[in-house]
Amino acid sequence: MKRVLIISPNFPPSNAADMQRVRMSLPYFKEFNWQAEVVAVDERYSDLVKDELLLESLPIEVKIHKVKALEKKWTSKVGLGSLALRSMWYYRKKVNSLLKARKFDLIYFSTTEFPVCILGAYWKRKFGVPYIIDMQDPWHSDYYQDKPKHQRPAKYWFSYRLNKYLEPIAIKSVDGLISVSESYLKTLNNRYPILKNIPQATVTFGAYEKDLKIALDNSHRFAPLLDSAFKNIVYVGRGGADMRKALEMLFEALKQKTLENAELVNKLKFYFIGTSYAPKGLGQASILPIAYQYGLQNNVIEVTDRISYYHTLLTLKQADALFIPGSDDPGYTASKIYPYLLTAKPLLAIFNRQSSVVPILKKCTIHATILTLPDDEEGADNAILRSLVTNWANNDFKNIEVTSEFENYSARTLTQKQIELFNKVNMNHTEDNFTAI
């Protein structure tokens, strides 16, 4: 059985989106002849929401190694809050000891704490172990370069330059790439022609049905967030300027419908929960200000604080309908769509037409309302939205159904796709070593 060492700084019980692929894949690695061990940052060094229930989904036989990190309360004084940078030295020390002690066939970075990935090139030189990077988001990106300063993330000036410097260190020596979006791989291949010779695969996040059962079995642990006096439409996930166009489509339809029948529209409440990555109580609203511009502040509730993963699933299940606003970035793919589909609730999604989410939703669902950002179809989409919100206000909800195609996005199937890439990288590495001899 081959052995893979997984680098995932965020890990249960920390509730972070970028650890979900690893968490959902761990139960299936052994089935495909790979034994996994994980190296994560001890959760006490992270200010993310903790969800102890996440631990119930992990196979008990998988070894989890914890490393320290510099305390954020000290490093933040010099503007250093990144978990990757705070834990880099500890990762180097711990993984060095693991690679000296026993043989690993592969190192797998699955995280959006990208700076830690530069250690892959170091470990490859020192120990001869190949490595794969999972591109869940773009690392170095020009997306915000032409955006106003107020729309850019905090500390953008520093992070943009740091990413531009660190990305080539990791990417130029990488042995394989996995990405949630084909466009991310295209960008990297254009930027680094050397990548054309390495194995690559587009593998989205998967759906793990056990999660919904865990959430429902533990519903008593979570305070309800929704008001039963209204028809509740829920989105749980990050906000951001890149979602403005999708929100404006919905809010414009609601505004027009309000002019026709305000009493009807006032039966609806749209919840946007966990929209900020900032520590609890410090998040800045990004959805509600747009609602105010459309006079819809009484219909929109934004909770910037993030909630735990299973609280999220339970809240989605308790909603009357679900809404997923997509990014205007064509390369953006929403890992959150699969838990949404598992709930089988009525669903509205608005994405860039080039996003991979659009064909996935169309193949995997029946009765979902899937719209694309306005161009030549703007009028048609607006009419559809006005009709949809009218139906919802009148308590006319139609649950979605998932098709057989949805099985292709199960956690097991997508773990198998990861393993196929693992095997290609492992074979290439073995052949290279043989040739060298």
Question: 80-109 pLDDT, tens per residue?
Answer: 678 989 999 999 999 999 999 999 999 999
Q: Are 294 and 254 in contact (CB under 8 A)?
A: yes
* pLDDT, mean over the chain: 90
Q: What is the pLDDT of residue 147?
A: 67
- Indicate whether 437 pLDDT > 60: no
Question: 208-219 pLDDT, tens per residue?
Answer: 989 999 999 999
pLDDT band at 332 (very low <50, low <70, confident <90, very high): confident
- In the predicted model, what is the mean pLDDT of residues 35-52? 93
pLDDT band at 222 (very low <50, low <70, confident <90, very high): very high
- In the predicted model, what is the mean pLDDT of residues 261-268? 95
- Indicate whether 115 pLDDT > 80: yes
**And the tokens for 402?**
């998932």
Compute the half-sphere exposure of residue 315: CA atoms within 13 Å on the CB side of its CA: 25
Greatest Cα pair distance in the chain: 79
- Indicate whether 380 pLDDT > 50: no
Q: What is the pLDDT of residue 150?
A: 66
- Indicate whether 243 pLDDT > 70: yes
3-state secondary structure of 100: helix
Q: What is the pLDDT of residue 79?
A: 54
How many other C-beta atoms lie within 10 A of the C-beta of residue 112?
18
**And the tokens for 286?**
């990004």
H helix or E strand, kind and range, residue 110? strand 106-110
pLDDT band at 379 (very low <50, low <70, confident <90, very high): very low
Measured in degrees and rounded to the nearest 5, phi and psi for residue 115 equal: -55, -30
Q: What is the pLDDT of residue 17?
A: 87
Q: What is the pLDDT of residue 24?
A: 95
**And the tokens for 209?**
């049905």
Beta bridge partners of 37: 5, 63
Question: 404-417 pLDDT, tens per residue?
Answer: 999 999 999 999 99
pLDDT band at 145 (very low <50, low <70, confident <90, very high): low
- Indicate whether 227 pLDDT > 80: yes
Helices (DSSP H) in 232-283: which residue ranges?
244-260, 262-265
CA dist 171 and 141 (Å) reads: 14
Question: 151-179 pLDDT, tens per residue?
Answer: 666 665 567 678 787 899 999 999 999 99
Q: What is the pLDDT of residue 382?
A: 84
Helices (DSSP H) in 114-177: which residue ranges?
118-127, 156-171
CA dist 90 and 113 (Å) reads: 15
- In the predicted model, what is the mean pLDDT of residues 281-303? 95
Q: Are 287 and 239 in contact (CB under 8 A)?
A: yes
